[in-house]
Structure 1
Amino acid sequence: MNVSPPPPVGRCLDMCPMRECKEREQQGRLFRFETLVGEGNWARGRCKMRSLPLADPSKTVKEYSRPAAGKKLSSPCDLRPPSVLLKTVNYLLMEVWDHVNERDLASLAEAYIFVFDRLRAVRQDLTVQRIQGRLGAFVLEGSLGFLLCAPYLVRDLPSDSYDEVLHAKQVRDCFADLMECYGMDPKCPREAEFQALLLLYDLGNMDTINRALKLPRGVGDSPQVQIALAVNRAYLEGNWVRLFRLVHQLDCLQACSFYRHLPNARDNALRVLTHAYSSRNCRFPLDLLVVLLAIDTTGMASEMCRRRGLAVISGEKQSVVFFKASFKDSGPECAGREYILIETKRGDFTWAEIMMGENEGEFMRPKTN
Structure 2
Amino acid sequence: MDIHRRGGVNPRGRRGPRRHRGPPPPSPATAATAASIAALSLEEAPLLGQCQRLCPPQEETERRRCQELSRFERATTASPTLVAVKRYRRAAAGRATLDARDLRPAPVLLATLRHLFTSVLVWPDSGEFLSVYHFVNDRIRSVRQDFTIQRIEDASLATALQQTARFYLLAGLRAAQLLSSQELQQDWSARLNDEQLVSALAQLQALTCSCPQQDGAAAAEFVAYDLLLHADDARAVAWSLRKLPSSLRNLPAVRRALRTFVALQTDAFHAFFTEFRAMTLLEQAAVLRHVPTVWTRSLHMLNKACGKQDRFPLEELARWLQLTDSESEGGDGGRAERLCNALNLQTQRLPPPPPPPKTSSQVADSWEVDDALDGCVTSSSASETSSSSVGSVQFKLAPLKEELDSEATRLLLHDLALQIEGSASGEEGERTPRTATELVTGTRSESPSAQ
Taking structure 2 as the reference length, the TM-score comes to: 0.70
Contact 1:134–1:182 (CA under 8 A) maintained in structure 2: no
Contact 1:113–1:161 (CA under 8 A) maintained in structure 2: no
Q: Residue 213 of structure 1: which of 215, 238, 241 is its match? A: 241
Write the distance in 1 (CA, Å) between the matches of 2:446 and 2:320: 33
Write the distance in 2 (CA, Å) between the matches of 1:210 and 1:158: 32
Q: Residue 64 of structure 1: which of 76, 81, 88 is its match? A: 88
Shift of 1:196: 0.5
- What does the per-residue CA deviation read over 1:211-244, in whole Å, with 9 as the maximum and x for residues that have no partner? 4434334311100000000000111111112111
Write the distance in 2 (CA, Å) between the matches of 1:26 and 1:72: 27
Shift of 1:330: 4.8
Partner of 2:365: none
Query: Which runs of structure 2 are paired with 1:195-214 in the superposition (5 Å)?
Result: 195-214=223-242
- Establish whether residue 313 from structure 1 lines up as the match of residue 352 from structure 2: no
Aligned length: 341
Partner of 1:238: 267
User: Percent identity at matched positions?
Assistant: 28
Q: Residue 110 of structure 2: which of 86, 96, 102 is its match? A: 86
- Establish whether residue 192 from structure 1 lines up as the match of residue 220 from structure 2: yes
Partner of 2:420: 341
Query: Which runs of structure 2 are paired with 1:1-369 in the superposition (5 Å)?
Result: 5-37=44-76, 59-71=83-95, 74-97=98-121, 99-101=122-124, 103-105=125-127, 107-155=128-176, 156=179, 157-189=183-215, 190-214=218-242, 215-277=244-306, 279-297=307-325, 298-315=333-350, 316=352, 317-323=390-396, 325-331=398-404, 333-334=409-410, 335-338=413-416, 339-347=418-426, 348=432, 349-357=434-442, 360=443
Contact 1:94–1:353 (CA under 8 A) maintained in structure 2: no
One-letter identity of the residue aligned with 1:248: R
Write the distance in 2 (CA, Å) between the matches of 1:73 and 1:100: 39
SS of 1:85's equivalent?
Answer: helix
Moved more, 125-134 or 230-239: 125-134
Contact 1:248–1:341 (CA under 8 A) maintained in structure 2: no
Contact 1:346–1:354 (CA under 8 A) maintained in structure 2: no
Contact 1:255–1:341 (CA under 8 A) maintained in structure 2: yes
- What does the per-residue CA deviation read over 1:313-338, in whole Å, with 9 as the maximum and x for residues that have no partner? 21232111122644233525123242
Shift of 1:293: 0.9
Moved more, 346-355 or 203-212: 203-212
Partner of 1:43: none
Contact 2:229–2:286 (CA under 8 A) maintained in structure 1: yes
Write the distance in 1 (CA, Å) between the matches of 2:163 and 2:245: 23
Shift of 1:11: 1.7
Write the distance in 2 (CA, Å) between the matches of 1:110 and 1:73: 33
- What does the per-residue CA deviation read over 1:108-136, in whole Å, with 9 as the maximum and x for residues that have no partner? 11101111111111111111112223221
**Aligned CA distance change for structure 1 residues 285 and 73 (closer, same or farther; 3 Å):** farther
One-letter identity of the residue aligned with 2:290: H
One-letter identity of the residue aligned with 2:233: N
SS of 2:187's equivalent?
Answer: coil
Shift of 1:178: 1.0
Shift of 1:72: 6.2
In structure 1, the gaps of 5 or more residues are 41-55
